[in-house]
């Protein structure tokens, strides 16, 4: 299914609104901004991610002939309107936070300026693309902060929500500082290191566990990581110790072991002792099984001798906070700022910029959400990345984004790094922005 | 990105195991079963979904040349092994629950019998495909049960986890009894009814709210659903009443209104009064905004005069239970039953069947998980759907699956229908199965 750039990957109401815009010739420039209305209680910061895929989408967006035929057949749209979509292209400009930038509630991570129909149609897929990778990069960053220096690998493909989520989770976790992913296709597409051990099925398919270990080791002498918990974890570690000399004679070195069930801290301690006593001090110890940043902290606080963690389901579905309140709102149309005032959902109008201040030591000191044309002290974070529907710069190398994340995470306050949302990071609203909002509220509709 | 059937959409360890199987010539038939180890506390039953896509995957699975080149370049796999993958096809057989069948913990929803490497490689994607649609169909069914007779529409594309999740959520919700989806591409691909209203941006792009209403109504006279809460919900309802006679003169009838913020029950009551007093009793009232089955029950219990619900984020991410503990385990290899005994993760071995009994009134009375070759009283639920890698029957029409769901939901106990997990539905383990497990445990490994 090649649908990722389909123009029909949108909500129907975008098309019904486009038909209105077409009928009324509403083609003036519209300014939409994409931001998180609030952070989940479980999050003190978010990391922007997914921009690369969002720009791909905008550059390649068009209606296929069979899609237009299908739309025409729906009976909802006038033939002239459907015909007008044939040449639909995104011709606007985009400002955005570079991927890997930390951001907070109400701060735009993307701004689209384009003729109203173009800026409108793309809403659903832009949110869809930026939402998921931002969700996962933010979750993965919390895992990285919880387990400094440890090997962290994305194991989540099977319970990610579909194929695209699996691929993008691998990318987002890599950006956030993971060591790699088990998802092979993510390795091929994004040049992310791939990791893999063995499953219980390989052990079960052999009559003797030690035969399974030996066969597996012989088949990939350079990458031997053995799974210990199919029947009895410590007994398996003992078998491994017994097997190691024979493997060594054949030139095969065991790199690591994995434990996937039971009391992971306790098993890790026992297995570490067995391995060390068996002259296998170099063998690393990986664990997996329903892990998230909370469990990582617990295991490390308990002093479990664990070298690496396979993070699956709870990473790829961001189980403790599976969605973000990310929205895309009209802030200006035809050179006039606009403001939605729905209860609990009012927006800050106009073209905004985030101005970020730093302490002398380089720590994030506070942001100001202001208007682009009324600069405030601090570094402006949104940069122009697309003009006339074309990227202004080539895709950013993922290593550069990883470096940015490293710098950003180190610049967070100790409370934010520790995964706490309190006290919240200070985001001030510039007086010019407050004045604009007040003025718009006083106008009647 | 056309990756949905890529053979590299799998975990690396499947390939490292395949290399072992290749080296050891382990090609005997393997039996894997896919089941939920346990249900989330928030779920009393699950509905099987996604079989269609799983069978598509199995039928079309192959390695592309560039994928094999990439694998060869990794340096992990022997050239002969990589070359052997060129002709890799899935040639096995599949038993499965028909889509829309209710099932419970430990009950297999899919069984694969195939040469070990084939059955192994497909694990990751089979779980990925069946997990998400099962998750969403089960969630959607709870919404259907919570709001009998109401219009329920999937609005969740933007915060679904990626493109595939958005499409499959629309399909799964439709199977479970929803009225349709806002996701246009899902309408085209699955022939699901599409629904759409308007967004706040259309209102905001106009200087006057009443102009926005009139323009929108004129542009699609057959499908006018107006959004009321951009500025002041009751004031907007008043404008609508004022506008209606002029629209009527032009032959335009307002079908519905939508409220997306604030106290939905209270706004619904006030808006209903305003519309009724304005001779607009035929106008239906839709609400949206962070809805799930719990909110639906609350709103309906409060007597809110609501005709339909747009269900977004909390449906497509199944927020209260965003993953299921769905696994795929080896149960037999080379004609010998196999059993994993990991702590808390032990499996029931052998080729199993679900035998379901019904009361005289057609209600589900209890299941027995037994061996396929030792039938128990009740209706066997798993049916053969694929042999020699080819489907045995054409794809099931979605309407037939919807009918099955309707029957299944009506046959659940009142407690399960009410969304309660207690008391759990009875699933007995057949004595033959217990005996087999005990016998295997007594064998040494």
User: CA dist A393 to A50, A97, A169, B196, Å?
Assistant: 16, 14, 24, 36
Which of A154, A186, A310, A323 to mutate: most B Cβ within 10 Å?
A323
Name the pairing type of β-strands B383-387 and B390-391.
antiparallel
Mean of pLDDT values over B74-103 = 97
pLDDT of residue A1: 40
Are the beta carbons of B167 and A1 separated by less than 8 Å?
yes
Are the beta carbons of A196 and B160 separated by less than 8 Å?
no
A94 contacts A110 by C-beta, under 8 angstroms? yes
pLDDT digits (tens, 9 = 90+) for A148-173: 999 999 999 999 999 999 999 999 99
B18: contact with A, CB 8 A cutoff? no
Using an 8 Å CB-CB cutoff, list chain A residues near B67.
188
pTM over 0.90: yes
Using an 8 Å CB-CB cutoff, list chain B residues near A168.
162
Q: What is the DSSP string of A94-156?
A: EEEPPTT-EE-TT--SEEEEEEHHHHHHTHHHHHHHHHHHHHHHHHHHHHHHHSTTSEEEE--
User: CA dist B212 to A104, B201, B219, B224, Å?
Assistant: 33, 10, 11, 12
High-pLDDT (> 90) share of chain B, %:
92
**b/e string for A334-365 if b means 16 or more Cβ within 10 A?**
eeebbbbbbeebbbbbbbbbbbbbeeeeeebb
pLDDT digits (tens, 9 = 90+) for B240-285: 999 999 999 999 999 999 999 999 999 999 999 999 999 999 999 9
Residue owning tokens 């690496």: A308
pLDDT digits (tens, 9 = 90+) for B335-385: 999 988 888 878 899 999 999 999 999 999 999 999 999 999 999 999 999
B179: contact with A, CB 8 A cutoff? no
Distance between B327 CA and the closest CA of chain A, angstroms: 9
Q: What is the DSSP string of A345-389?
A: -----SSEEEEEEE-TTS-EEEEEEEETTS--SSEE--EEEEETT
Using an 8 Å CB-CB cutoff, list chain A residues near B209.
445
Using an 8 Å CB-CB cutoff, list chain A residues near B319.
322-323
Hey, what's the torsion of the CAs at A278, A284, A285, A291, to 10 degrees?
Answer: 180
Those residues whose C-beta lies under 8 Å from the C-beta of residue B76, and which sit 6 or more positions away, are A220, A222, A223, B15, B16
pLDDT of residue B295: 98
Inter-chain CB pairs, A–B, below 8 Å: 359
Residue owning tokens 């699975």: B61
In the numeric block, which tokens belong to residue A372? 């682009």
B57: contact with A, CB 8 A cutoff? no
Residue owning tokens 């999937």: B154
In the numeric block, which tokens belong to residue B54? 């799983």
In the numeric block, which tokens belong to residue A251? 């030139």
Using an 8 Å CB-CB cutoff, list chain A residues near B342.
200, 229-231, 260-262
Hey, what's the torsion of the CAs at B195, B201, B204, B209, to 10 degrees?
Answer: 0
Are the beta carbons of A196 and B24 separated by less than 8 Å?
no
pLDDT of residue B408: 95
pLDDT of residue B2: 58
Distance between B107 CA and the closest CA of chain A, angstroms: 18
Burial class (CB in 10 A: 0-12, 13-18, 19+), A59: middle
Largest CA distance in chain A: 85
B278 contacts B244 by C-beta, under 8 angstroms? yes
- Gyration radius (Cα) of chain A, Å: 26
The total number of residues shown for chain A amounts to: 445
A168: contact with B, CB 8 A cutoff? yes
Average pLDDT of chain A?
95
A342: contact with B, CB 8 A cutoff? yes
Distance between A433 CA and the closest CA of chain B, angstroms: 18
In the numeric block, which tokens belong to residue A168? 């993008």
User: Is B44's pLDDT higher than 80?
Assistant: yes
Using an 8 Å CB-CB cutoff, list chain B residues near A161.
132, 135, 160-162, 164-165, 317
Whole-number Å distance between alpha carbons of A190 and B304: 50
Are the beta carbons of B8 and A184 separated by less than 8 Å?
yes
Domains of chain B with CATH codes:
12-136+321-442 (3.20.140.10), 148-316 (3.20.20.70)
Those residues whose C-beta lies under 8 Å from the C-beta of residue B211, and which sit 6 or more positions away, are none
pLDDT digits (tens, 9 = 90+) for A288-303: 999 999 999 999 999 9
Chain B nearest-CA residue for A335 = B205
User: Is B321's pLDDT higher than 90?
Assistant: yes
CA angle A6–A11–A14, rounded 5-degree value: 95
User: Is B444's pLDDT higher than 90?
Assistant: no
Residue owning tokens 């309802």: B237
Using an 8 Å CB-CB cutoff, list chain A residues near B196.
11-16
User: Is A365's pLDDT higher than 80?
Assistant: yes
Chain B nearest-CA residue for A32 = B201
Distance between B160 CA and the closest CA of chain A, angstroms: 7
Whole-number Å distance between alpha carbons of A60 and A53: 11
> In what helix (H) or strand (E) does residue A308 lie, and over which residues does it extend?
strand A308-311
A418: contact with B, CB 8 A cutoff? no
User: CA dist B366 to A284, B100, B359, B407, Å?
Assistant: 47, 18, 9, 16
Whole-number Å distance between alpha carbons of A310 and A152: 6
| Closest CB from A20, A261, A318 relative to B343 | A261
At residue A2 the predicted structure's pLDDT band, cuts being 50, 70 and 90, is low
Q: What is the DSSP string of B47-74?
A: E---HHHHHHHHHH-B--HHHHHHHHHH
At residue B1 the predicted structure's pLDDT band, cuts being 50, 70 and 90, is very low
A253 contacts A224 by C-beta, under 8 angstroms? yes
pLDDT of residue A183: 98
pLDDT of residue A319: 98
In the numeric block, which tokens belong to residue A369? 């959400």
Nearest one of A258, A248, A193, A201 to A225, comparing CA atoms: A258
| Residue B248: Cβ within 10 Å count | 12
Chain B nearest-CA residue for A19 = B219
Mean of pLDDT values over A132-149 = 98
Nearest one of A385, A390, A384 to A59, comparing CA atoms: A390
Q: Which residues pair with residue B56 across a beta bridge?
A: none
B346: contact with A, CB 8 A cutoff? no
Q: What is the DSSP string of B381-445?
A: --EEEEETTEESSPPPPHHHHHHHHHHHHHTS-HHHHTT---SPPPEEEPHHHHHHHHHHHHS--
Are the beta carbons of A2 and B6 separated by less than 8 Å?
no
Are the beta carbons of B205 and A116 separated by less than 8 Å?
yes
Whole-number Å distance between alpha carbons of B414 and B412: 6
| Residue A419: Cβ within 10 Å count | 18
Chain B nearest-CA residue for A135 = B161
Using an 8 Å CB-CB cutoff, list chain B residues near A6.
185
Q: What is the DSSP string of B137-202?
A: HHHHHHHHHHSTTSEEEE--GGGSSSHHHHHHHHHHHHHTT--EESBHHHHHHH---B-----HHH
A348: contact with B, CB 8 A cutoff? no
Tell whether the torsion through CA atoms of A313, A318, A319 and A322 is positive or negative.
Answer: negative
| Closest CB from A76, A125, A162 relative to B165 | A162
pLDDT of residue A58: 97
Chain A, 381 to 400: residues with Cβ < 8 Å from chain B are none
Are the beta carbons of A24 and B195 separated by less than 8 Å?
no
Tell whether the torsion through CA atoms of A21, A24, A25 and A30 is positive or negative.
Answer: negative
pLDDT of residue B445: 57
Mean of pLDDT values over A28-51 = 97
| Closest CB from A1, A198, A231 relative to B341 | A231
B113: contact with A, CB 8 A cutoff? no
A63: contact with B, CB 8 A cutoff? no
B266: contact with A, CB 8 A cutoff? no
Chain B, 285 to 304: residues with Cβ < 8 Å from chain A are none
A345: contact with B, CB 8 A cutoff? yes
B152 contacts B177 by C-beta, under 8 angstroms? yes
Nearest one of A118, A126, A67, A56 to A92, comparing CA atoms: A118
Whole-number Å distance between alpha carbons of B164 and B167: 5
End-to-end CA distance of chain A: 45
A118: contact with B, CB 8 A cutoff? no
- Phi first, then psi, for residue B308 (nearest 5°) are -155, 160
Mean of pLDDT values over B95-110 = 98
Strand order in B427-429's β-sheet? B379-380, B352-358, B364-371, B427-429
Distance between B424 CA and the closest CA of chain A, angstroms: 24
A72: contact with B, CB 8 A cutoff? no
pLDDT digits (tens, 9 = 90+) for B151-199: 999 999 999 999 999 999 999 999 999 999 999 999 999 999 999 989 9
Whole-number Å distance between alpha carbons of A308 and A296: 10
Those residues whose C-beta lies under 8 Å from the C-beta of residue A266, and which sit 6 or more positions away, are none
Average pLDDT of chain B?
95
A60: contact with B, CB 8 A cutoff? no
Distance between A383 CA and the closest CA of chain B, angstroms: 24
Tell whether the torsion through CA atoms of A292, A293, A294 and A295 is positive or negative.
Answer: positive
Mean of pLDDT values over A223-241 = 96
A340: contact with B, CB 8 A cutoff? yes
Q: Which residue has the higher pLDDT, A40 or A1?
A: A40
pLDDT digits (tens, 9 = 90+) for A173-197: 999 999 999 999 999 999 999 999 8
| Closest CB from A20, A205, A231 relative to B333 | A205
pLDDT of residue A391: 98
pLDDT of residue B349: 93
| Closest CB from B185, B205, B329 relative to A330 | B205
pLDDT of residue A223: 85
Using an 8 Å CB-CB cutoff, list chain A residues near B120.
199, 201-202
End-to-end CA distance of chain B: 45
Are the beta carbons of B159 and A183 separated by less than 8 Å?
no
A123: contact with B, CB 8 A cutoff? yes
B333: contact with A, CB 8 A cutoff? yes
pLDDT digits (tens, 9 = 90+) for A92-128: 999 999 999 999 999 999 999 999 999 999 999 999 9
């Amino acid at each position: 299914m090649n649908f990722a750039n389909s123009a029909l990957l949108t909500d129907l109401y975008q098309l019904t609104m486009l038909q209105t815009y077409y009928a009324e010739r509403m083609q003036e420039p519209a300014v939409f901004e994409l931001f998180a209305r609030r952070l989940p209680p479980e999050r003190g910061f978010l990391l922007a991610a997914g921009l690369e895929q969002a720009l791909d989408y905008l550059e390649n967006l068009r209606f296929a002939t069979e899609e237009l035929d299908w739309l025409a057949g729906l009976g909802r749209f006038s033939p002239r309107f459907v015909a007008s979509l044939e040449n639909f292209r995104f011709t606007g400009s985009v400002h955005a936070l570079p991927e890997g930038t930390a951001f907070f509630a109400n701060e735009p991570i993307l701004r689209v300026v384009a003729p109203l129909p173009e800026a409108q149609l793309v809403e659903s897929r832009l949110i869809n693309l930026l939402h998921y990778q931002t969700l996962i990069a933010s979750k993965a960053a919390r895992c990285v902060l919880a387990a400094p220096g440890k090997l962290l690998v994305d194991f989540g493909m099977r319970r990610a929500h579909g194929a695209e989520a699996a691929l993008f989770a691998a990318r987002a976790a890599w950006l956030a500082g993971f060591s790699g992913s088990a998802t092979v296709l993510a390795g091929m597409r994004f040049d992310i290191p791939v990791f893999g051990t063995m499953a219980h099925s390989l052990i079960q398919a052999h009559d003797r566990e030690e035969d399974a270990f030996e066969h597996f080791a012989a088949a990939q002498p350079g990458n031997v990581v053995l799974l210990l918990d199919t029947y009895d974890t410590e007994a398996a570690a003992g078998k491994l110790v017994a097997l190691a000399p024979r493997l060594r004679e054949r030139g095969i070195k065991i790199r690591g072991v994995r434990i996937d069930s039971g009391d992971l801290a306790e098993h890790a301690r026992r297995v570490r002792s067995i391995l060390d006593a068996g002259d296998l001090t170099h063998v690393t110890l990986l664990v997996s099984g329903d892990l998230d940043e909370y469990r990582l902290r617990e295991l490390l606080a308990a002093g479990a001798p664990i070298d690496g963690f396979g993070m699956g389901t709870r990473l790829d579905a961001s189980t403790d906070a599976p969605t973000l309140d990310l929205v895309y709102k009209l802030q200006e149309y035809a050179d006039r700022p606009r403001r939605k005032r729905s209860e609990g959902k009012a927006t800050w109008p106009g073209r905004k910029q985030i101005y970020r201040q730093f302490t002398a030591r380089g720590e994030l000191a506070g942001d100001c959400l202001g208007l682009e044309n009324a600069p405030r002290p601090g570094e402006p974070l949104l940069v122009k990345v697309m003009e006339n529907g074309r990227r202004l710069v080539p895709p950013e190398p993922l290593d550069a984004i990883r470096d940015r994340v490293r710098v950003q995470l180190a610049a967070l306050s100790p409370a934010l790094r520790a995964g706490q949302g309190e006290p919240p990071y200070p985001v001030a609203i510039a007086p010019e922005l407050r004045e604009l909002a007040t003025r718009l509220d006083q106008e009647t509709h």
